[in-house]
Amino acid sequence: MDVSDLRIALFSGNYNYVRDGANQALNRLVGYLLRQGAAVRIYSPTVEEPDFEATGDVVDVPALPLPGRGEYRAPLRLPGRIRRDIADFAPNIFHVASPEILGHRAVTLARRWDVPVVASVHTRFETYPRYYGLAFLEPLTLAILRRFYRRCDAIFAPSDSMAQILREQRMSYDVGIWTRGIDREVFNPGRRDLEWRRGLGINDDEAVIGFVGRLVMEKGLDVFSDTIDHLKQRGAPHRVIVVGEGPAREWFERRLPDGVFVGFQTGADLGRAVASMDMLFNPSVTETFGNVTLEAMAAGLPVVAARATGSESLVTDGVTGKLIRPGAIDAFADALAHYCADKDARAAAGQAGCEASERYGWDQVNQALVDGYLRIVRQHEAGGATPPRSTAP
């Protein structure tokens, strides 16, 4: 069996209507699979004006807007027409990309039809309740996630650090790695543009701290803004550039009155914005990989990040940046102040990060997942046992 024999049904609660690292990774994966001769069909909610064009054939799954987060859709079921479409497509493997209702329904269908199913892990959902005053729900969230992932034949994490956490959480007996790649045509030090910075009112000799990502509280916006406050109190010269949009933008702008908000950027514009910073500050603990961390490294920036999944696998502490205990505001401020004051330290860490990023090519990382697909299908055809059900409610 080879890749051209694969028929993959991919289930996503958000394939392309919101642009984020996970969705872009899924679309790149589908493009790679199609170029290799595999058959792929995507089942996901759709909208009239998605953030970017979908790669591959997408079948619309009915969904409702999430209360309070209307940019996201919640699929509630797999109606008969969708199940018939899946049956006509005749997949030999299911891939579920998120543990919401659509993912649960897809796993149930795969088990009923005796089709192997894998899941990719894109974010740490169990950490989300704490950002909405519901931290007491984290144990229940973990139990639900464990039940979901244990019903899959295998799960794939985007980093070694995330894979280890999944093993410690007893999410699966088969944890593989599907990391993320980098487009070096877009993200490289040559994209740095001092004229663009000057147009934003930033002098050439000012040290710029950058934030890149969706402006939602789970990205650590509170930690970021508190740390910037500490830098101001110390009198450490710096400027802040924020790249991204999201429902928390107004709150973030109030917390960073001197910040330069350049909005949503893509392609070459995003590459220019990142390379024109002097360091990236990523305090988030919810990422399983941290695409923005890798993009900043490829652009030649030192990265100051929370010692958490994703960044912990990318950043070498003291070499390509600084890894700080999550939420340690003073330590974050110390690291940023160091890079703001020491241009040579910035250059050395940025060069080291650029060199470290060279091993992340999209074709290589996607082929690793293809190899995982093939292994799971072969195991299933050889009579591999169905994954044990979790005892979690």
Tens digits of residue pLDDT in 46-57 = 988 898 999 999
In-domain check, residue 224 = yes
Do 36 and 166 lie in one domain? The reply is yes
Do 325 and 373 lie in one domain? The reply is no
The number of folded domains in the chain is: 2
Helix (H) or strand (E) holding 70: strand 69-75
- The model's pTM: 0.71
Instruction: With a cut of 70, say whether residue 211 has pLDDT above it.
Output: yes
Do 196 and 227 lie in one domain? The reply is yes
Sheet of 239-243: strands edge to edge? 260-263, 239-243, 208-212, 279-282, 303-306, 321-324
In-domain check, residue 294 = yes
Q: Which whole number is the average pLDDT over 305-325?
A: 91
Do 221 and 93 lie in one domain? The reply is no
In-domain check, residue 287 = yes
Which residue's entry shows tokens 């990236």?
280
pLDDT digits (tens, 9 = 90+) for 106-161: 999 999 999 999 999 887 655 655 656 666 677 887 888 889 899 999 999 988 88
First-to-final CA distance of the chain: 38
List the structure tokens of 77: 């079921």
Distance separating alpha carbons of residues 88 and 63, to the nearest angstrom: 22
CATH of the domain at 167: 3.40.50.2000
Distance separating alpha carbons of residues 283 and 228, to the nearest angstrom: 12
Q: Which residues have C-beta within 8 Å of that of residue 145, sequence separation ≥ 6?
A: 99, 125, 126, 169, 171
Q: What is the DSSP letter of 54?
A: P
In-domain check, residue 199 = yes
Provide the pLDDT for residue 49. Answer: 87
Average pLDDT, the chain: 90
| Phi, psi of 244, rounded to the nearest 5 degrees | 140, 165
- Is the pLDDT higher at 164 or at 336? 336
In-domain check, residue 392 = no
Range of the domain at 142: 3-181+361-381
- Mean pLDDT lowest among 20-34, 67-81, 198-212, 349-363: 67-81
Provide the pLDDT for residue 388. Answer: 53
Instruction: With a cut of 70, say whether residue 67 has pLDDT above it.
Output: no
Do 175 and 200 lie in one domain? The reply is no
